[in-house]
Each structure stands twice: as structure tokens, then as C-alpha cells.
Amino acid sequence: MIKDERYILDSEIESKAYAMLAGFESQYGKIVKPPIPIDRIIESYLDIWMDWDDIQDTNEEKILGYLNPSSKKILMNERHRDHFEEYIGTEAFTKAHEVGHWDLHIAKKSEAVQLPLLLPKEKITYLCRQQKLDKREIQAEKYAAYLLMPHHLLMEAINDVDITKWPDLYALKNEFGVTITAFTKRLKSLKLIYITEDKKIFHSQAESFGNQNLF
């Protein structure tokens, strides 16, 4: 069944994502370095089938992919292969986003196959839209960030790295297999960096103000 839409604390979303990783590791071995094997988590651990399909966009948004819990399928949009190829990391993040829907928004996985009998068609799938304002979409987006960039691996990776330098950030985001936007957003959420409007990076907003006062 689908859970009632509700507010979920970030701490709960993070705990769910880490529990997913722990469950995977208990069967397939510890993940000691990035990237997180999202395809294996989906196909081997969750037994969810993945494929590509020609998915019609809406008038307002691109649809990058979707989860159909009743058939246990994640389908990526064939129309946007060029987008995934150009923006390396968006494919993995889209898949992790759909895992977020599966983990956060499907209450009883064993009953997912009954969804078509219980709900109207538009409630059966979770679309991964390029612009996400819906509460569930925001929750799945946060889940994907926690899943692909878990705190312990992230902190280990940035140790002895100057995260105020763009080249170092790009090297790190490549290690984790995510976009630079997703990576910097994750660091900002942990208050590890602050980026000014002119794209200068500091360890904090206070540091950026102090730097400005020097001139």
C-alpha cells in the first residue's frame, strides 16, 4: 500500500537510506569506497527490474524516469539518454531517487502488486521530474543524496582534500558518481562549504564575510 503523505524528518530519511545500505552490505559485503553500486542495490538486493522506455514528458517538465511499484520496475526515459550522457551522475541519482520512493512511500512491499486494484492509474507510478516541488519528490531527492553520498564515506573522502577548490570538488563528485550540483548541495547541507554568488567557495558564510572585509 502507499503510505499517507506526511512530513518526514530529514533524520528519518537519512536513517532509512543508511538502513538500506546496511541491508545490502549484510548480503553483498561492505562498501569501503564510492561509488555506491546503485544498480546492484536495485536489481540484486531489492529485486526491482530496470529498463528504458519512451516516456512522454509533461508540458512543464522533463520526466527522467519512474517507479511502478505494482510491477517492481524502474524505467528510465529513453528520450533523455543524451541528458544522462551529458550530465554524468544524473542517471545514478534518478535511480536512487526512485529507490527513495520505494523505501519511503510504499508501506508494505508485499502488497505493491495489488496497487492497480486499489488505486487509480495516476497513483500507481512515481514520476521523477526534473523540477521537484511535491513533498514526496523532495523526500526522495534527499534520500538519494544520503544513499549515494553517505556521511562516513563522504567524510573519509574529503579528508586531506581542499574542498574550497573547484578542481578538487569535481574530482570528488566523479568518485561518488554524482553531479557537481548534487555533491555541493550535500556538502552545503552538512555546513562544510559556503558558495558565494560569484562561485567562490569558503568553509562557512562567516569566513566569506571575513574575506570580504580584507579588501
What average pLDDT is seen over the chain?
87
pLDDT for res 145: 98
Rounded CA separation 97/8 (Å): 16
For residues 159 and 175, the answer to whether their CB atoms sit within 8 Å is no
pLDDT for res 49: 96
Which range among 10-14, 92-96, 116-120, 155-159 shows the weakest confidence by mean pLDDT? Answer: 116-120
pLDDT for res 124: 46
pLDDT for res 189: 96
Q: Work out the pLDDT band at 152, boundaries 50, 70, 90.
A: very high
Look up the pTM and report it.
Answer: 0.87
pLDDT tens-digit map of 85-126: 999 999 999 999 999 999 998 866 655 544 433 333 444 456
Q: Is the pLDDT of residue 211 over 70?
A: no
Burial bucket for residue 160 (CB in 10 Å: 0-12, 13-18, 19+): exposed
Q: Work out the pLDDT band at 62, boundaries 50, 70, 90.
A: confident
User: Any idea where the domains of the chain sit in the sequence?
Assistant: 1-148, 149-215
